[in-house]
Amino acid sequence: MVHEYKCVLSLRVARHLLSQGFEIVDLERSKKFSGVVFKFKNTEKLNEAVRKFTAKGA
């Protein structure tokens, strides 16, 4: 099952995605952690950008 949105908990990852041209669809308070959940439209391009960013060990 493919989800409509990709939820990002990391401010650093969210900022990176924004710098790459991705747009935040929604924000909401995390129910499990203290902080904010950044919601992006779930696309293959977004998933690839997240994979590359996390592979760098940033």
CA distance 7 to 5: 6
Strand order in the sheet with 24-29: 5-8, 36-41, 24-29
- Output the pTM of the full model: 0.86
Residue that has been written with the tokens 């499990």 in this structure = 32
Query: What confidence tens digit (pLDDT) does each residue in 1-58 have?
Result: 678 999 999 999 999 999 999 999 999 999 988 899 999 999 999 999 999 999 986 5
Burial 39-53 (b: 16+ CB within 10 A, else e): bbeeeeebeebbeeb
